[in-house]
Amino acid sequence: MKNIYVILFLLVSHLSLAQEKNLVVEYQAQTTFENTEELFPRNSSFGPNADMEKALRNSMEEIHNYKLLINKDLSSFEYQPKINNGQSNFGMKISLSAGDDWFIDLENHTKSREAQAVNGEAYLIQDSIENLDWKITREKKKVYNIDAQKATAYHDSVEYIAWYAPSIPLPHGPMGITGLPGLILDLKVSKPLKKTKIISHFWVSGLTTEENVKIVRPTKGKIISLKEFMELNDKLIEELNAMYSEGVDRD
């Protein structure tokens, strides 16, 4: 009899989620690299970089927390920082979560977020949502005790592997990833980086319904596209590297 009550409870919960348009989804995430040796070669001009590599490995192993707020066609994916006064041995903490936050507007097919360039200037990145060519497979499994179906996509050398819930017909997910006929419960994103890959893995750790989920649209900063922002940062980094090289040569 107890098992029957449990099954009925789960069925009612899933039916409620299927009809709900306002959700708060909690995710945990971890970032890994296929090979850190390619990022910090021992024969580089900066030496062995032991402290940097140690901090990077520690950040890789750390579990990060995110929250996805959904209100019908709007969603906001936000990093939830931990209170941590610890620092790495060389006085800085490496964060692998920057750039994951996105505000999504499905009705207008746009995404946006506030960002800071290398030079400290504030920008408002506004762009269209990528139309990923999802391939839905027949593979299924349970994710957070919810039936999930596997889908894959490949875009601009980036591989996406998602497990979504057909029973929750909200096309939202982590990192502003959209386009599936259900909420993304588990997501792996593999991006090429130099001669290795950076792999971001997100999985659901909490799922609740709310009567009215308030989502704040980002508005601060100079408007710029994602491509323009990335090109700007690359240019600023090149200028900083050139300045550093000149300083080293003079010594």
User: 116-133: per-residue pLDDT in tens?
Assistant: 999 999 999 999 999 999
The pLDDT confidence band at residue 147, using thresholds 50, 70 and 90, is very high
Q: Tell me, what's the pLDDT at 37? A: 59
Q: Tell me, what's the pLDDT at 71? A: 96
- C-alpha 71/C-alpha 209 separation (Å) is 10
**Cβ neighbours of residue 173 closer than 8 Å, sequence gap 6 or more:** 68, 162, 164, 180, 183, 184, 187
The pLDDT confidence band at residue 196, using thresholds 50, 70 and 90, is confident
Domain count, the chain: 1
Residues in the chain: 251
Q: Tell me, what's the pLDDT at 72? A: 93
pTM recorded for the entire structure? 0.81
pLDDT exceeds 50 at position 11: no
pLDDT exceeds 80 at position 113: yes
How far is C-alpha 76 from the geometric centre of its chain's CA atoms?
Answer: 11
Phi-psi region of 195 (alpha: psi -120 to 50; beta: other; left: phi over 0): alpha
The pLDDT confidence band at residue 250, using thresholds 50, 70 and 90, is low
The pLDDT confidence band at residue 88, using thresholds 50, 70 and 90, is very low
Q: Tell me, what's the pLDDT at 249? A: 55
**Average pLDDT of the residues in 183-211:** 93
Q: Tell me, what's the pLDDT at 212? A: 86
Q: How far apart are the first and last CA of the chain?
A: 80
Question: Could you tell me the residue range of the domain that residue 228 belongs to?
Answer: 2-250
